[in-house]
Amino acid sequence: MIPVTQTWSAEAAARYRSKGYWRGETFGAFLRARAQATPDAVAIVCGARRWTYADFDRDSDAFAAGLLDLGLRAGDRAIVQLPNIGEYFIIVFGLFKAGILPIFALPGHRSAEITHFAEKGEAAAHIVAAGQGFDYCALAHDVRGRVPGLSHVVTVGAAGAGEVGYDDLLRAAPRDLPARDPAGVAFLQLSGGSTGLSKLIPRSHDDYIYTLRESARICGLTAADTLMIALPAAHNFPMSSPGSLSAFYVGARVVLAPSPSPDACLPLIARERVTMTSLVPPVALLWLSAAEAGQHDLSSLRVIQIGGAKLAPEVARRIRPVLGCTLQQVFGMAEGLVNYTALDDDEETIVTTQGRPISPDDEILIVDDDGRDVAPGEAGHLLTRGPYTIRAYHNDDGANARAFTADGFYRTGDIVLRRADGALVVQGRAGDHINRAGEKISAEEIEDHLLAHPQVFDAAVVSIPDEFLGERSCAFVIPRGDKPKAAALKAWIRQRGLAEFKVPDQVVFVERFTETAVGKISRKALRAHLRATLGPEAG
Ligand code: OOB
């Protein structure tokens, strides 16, 4: 098994410690401290169910013991693929305490993606929930059948044959769990997948807890807050910016929403007196329309974080008047770097920028195509290095060679400019990925699947601006022989076991890609050319 490590230089690690960023805390230990300080405070609200900090700590201890009783060991990996339910947090902290590394899959992932994570991460377990509409247990059995070493399927809810029940694991006898190494990797996040398949991102207790502490401070999150998780809980944004884990870090209350829709969330805000939540821009648009209808009491809302994709200033401007709360823009990435506008920034800065980095030691480079610094205020490629930005993906030398410079800067793939006051403004992406409502799609990944279809000669997938989603995907396809139906190609992508958001929104058949394009210029140039050919009916 390839050990999961993170590779800051000894010099950088010593500096981050001496500056007090990395404090030697661990997830299990901070939860224990909260449970001792405020055992009866409510930590998790899921529908009518509630877990206090004492319940949370006790159940996650028991779950950790249950996993170890099953034969799992510290250093093993477990894919966690759960909807927004309270058990999700018990499981994640149970894994942290046992030293088993969660791989944070999303409910939308299907067999192609889960198989890839299981293989790359050498996962020993897949944790799913039964009775969720989609049959996750069948998915888990399917993947287990293909990936040697993936021995355990753990099910929340009714466990079927060959599965282990969450409730059964909770009945394990408590055992002494050794303290975890704060410098060690705590979990694997997933990359937005700018080229090819998502990569695994190792994050350490030290580096991640630093972002939790600082995010809570920058967002004004305290034990008095009630934070609602409306986006998928395992995504880095609702997990840590400031997200559920910052909320637990400060002893606040976390309310889970089953979906980000206004129908699910607005009544919940009123019922639970939610003070803070995070959204992606398309969801914010839906909330604005629903809130304008004015039936819900949103007076408890203090701050709303919006990020994951570019928020149009015209939409940003409506947040305060319509939702009655402060907007905080968040520009972040699972690899590390997170930027926030400040709660007390002037309205223009809040509305038109994506904020400033969390850490004084977040190093920011903005360079041209040749790697030279651009003039102040000009747009260029954003590179970054710092106390919570990774230096390498797990088990992926090819991706590491592309994504990191020799001196450890991460190439974000984003084009940004920096104002004189340090605030960043995101201009777009350099690479060919589609940011569909905050969900990232790699053009290359979808092209590979299209090319596997017998009636596809060649394919190029591009983004098209979309008023609601921000961007949607369009596949240009040169047919081989009989032209397939667009619907058949979409069905093909689904059938290949890909998440629904990756199915092209539109398919355009063409006879050829321009002469010069074929084989003579890069795929990137070809995609740019095709994007430019889209008429108004396509856009
Ligand atoms: C967040 O994380 P990922 O890893 O799913 O995606 C990162 C990418 C960024 O490189 C950028 O291209 C885009 O998503 N992005 C934004 C943005 N926030 C993220 N583009 C424009 N404006 C923004 N505000 O999406 C993520 C992680 C932590 C916090 C927030 C978002």
Q: CA–CA distance from 84 to each of 67, 75, 107, 260, 288 (Å)?
A: 21, 26, 9, 10, 23
What is the full per-residue pLDDT of the chain (539 aa) written as tens digits? 999 998 899 999 999 999 999 999 999 999 999 999 999 999 999 999 999 999 999 999 999 999 999 999 999 999 999 999 999 999 999 999 999 999 999 999 999 999 999 999 999 999 999 999 999 999 999 999 999 999 999 999 999 999 999 999 999 998 999 999 999 999 999 998 666 789 999 999 999 999 999 999 999 999 999 999 999 999 999 999 999 999 999 999 999 999 999 999 999 999 999 999 999 999 999 999 999 998 899 999 999 999 999 999 999 999 999 999 999 999 999 999 999 999 999 999 999 999 999 999 999 999 999 999 999 999 999 999 999 999 999 999 999 999 999 999 999 999 999 999 999 999 998 888 899 999 999 999 999 999 999 999 999 999 999 999 999 999 999 999 999 999 999 999 999 999 999 999 999 999 988 765 545 567 788 888 888 887 544 43
What is the pLDDT, as a whole number, of residue 193?
Answer: 61
- CB 16: neighbour CB atoms within 10 A? 21
**CA of 389 relative to ligand 1 center, distance in Å:** 14
334 Cβ below 6 A of ligand 1:
yes
Alpha-carbon distance of 364 to 337, in angstroms, equals 10
Q: Does residue 362 contact residue 390 with C-beta atoms inside 8 Å?
A: no
pTM of the model: 0.96
pLDDT at res. 520:
56
Count the Cβ atoms, other than its own, within 10 Å of residue 330.
24
Q: Best of 237, 353, 381, 384 to mutate for ligand 1, by most ligand atoms within 8 A of CB?
A: 237
| pLDDT for position 516 | 55
State how far the Cα of 142 lies from the Cα of 52, in Å rounded to an integer. 36
Check if 305 has its Cβ closer than 6 Å to any atom of ligand 1.
no
The C-alpha atoms of residue 81 and residue 88 are separated, in whole angstroms, by: 9
The token pair that represents 231 in the structure block? 């986006």
Ligand 1 pocket check for 429: Cβ under 6 Å:
yes
Q: Which of 50, 45, 59 is nearest to 167 (CA)?
A: 59
For the Cβ of 357 lying below 6 angstroms from any atom of ligand 1, the answer is: no
Is the CB of residue 310 below 6 angstroms from any atom belonging to ligand 1?
yes
For ligand 1, the distance from its centroid to the CA atom of residue 36, given in whole angstroms, is 35
What are the residues whose beta carbons fall under 8 Å from the beta carbon of 81, sequence distance 6 or more?
105, 106, 107, 109, 114, 126, 127, 128, 136, 234
With a 6 Å cutoff on the Cβ, whether 381 touches ligand 1 is no
In three-state secondary structure terms, 250 is helix
Cross-sheet strand order for the sheet of 380-385 = 363-367, 380-385, 410-418, 424-429
Looking at residue 535, its pLDDT comes to 55
Query: Can you give the pLDDT at residue 195?
Result: 67
Q: Which residues contact 501 (CB under 8 A, 6 or more apart)?
A: 108, 436, 437, 439, 441
Ligand 1 atom nearest 413 alpha carbon: 10
Ligand 1 centroid–CA 368 distance in Å is 21
Taking CA atoms only, the protein residue closest to ligand 1 atom 20 is 309
**484-487 long-range contacts, CB within 8 A, separation 24+:** 484/453, 484/455, 484/456
Taken in order of first residue, the domains within the chain and their CATH numbers are 24-214 (3.40.50.980), 433-533 (3.30.300.30)
Residue 447, both tokens: 């092209």
| Sign of the torsion formed by the C-alpha atoms of 52, 204, 100 and 142 | positive
Locate tokens 């990232």: which residue?
Answer: 440
Cα separation, 201 vs 400, in Å, equals 11
Q: Is the CB of 433 under 6 A from ligand 1?
A: no
| Three-state SS letters, 183-230 | CCEEEEEECCCCCCCCCEEEEEHHHHHHHHHHHHHHHCCCCCCEEEEC
How, if at all, do strands 185-190 and 200-204 pair?
Answer: antiparallel
Give the C-alpha separation, 533 to 7, whole Å: 44
Q: What are the E-state strand segments in 89-192? A: 101-104, 125-129, 152-156, 164-165, 185-190
pLDDT at 539: 38
Q: What is the pLDDT of residue 145?
A: 98
Between the CA of 309 and the centroid of ligand 1 the distance, in Å, is 6
Q: Between the CA of residue 141 and those of 53, 68, 169, 212, what are the distances in Å?
A: 34, 21, 19, 35
Q: Is 307 in the pocket of ligand 1 (CB under 6 A)?
A: yes
Q: Which strands sit side by side in the sheet containing 456-466, from one edge to the other?
A: 456-466, 470-479, 506-509
What is the 292 CA–ligand 1 centroid distance (Å)? Answer: 27
Task: Please report the ipTM that was assigned to this predicted complex.
Answer: 1.00
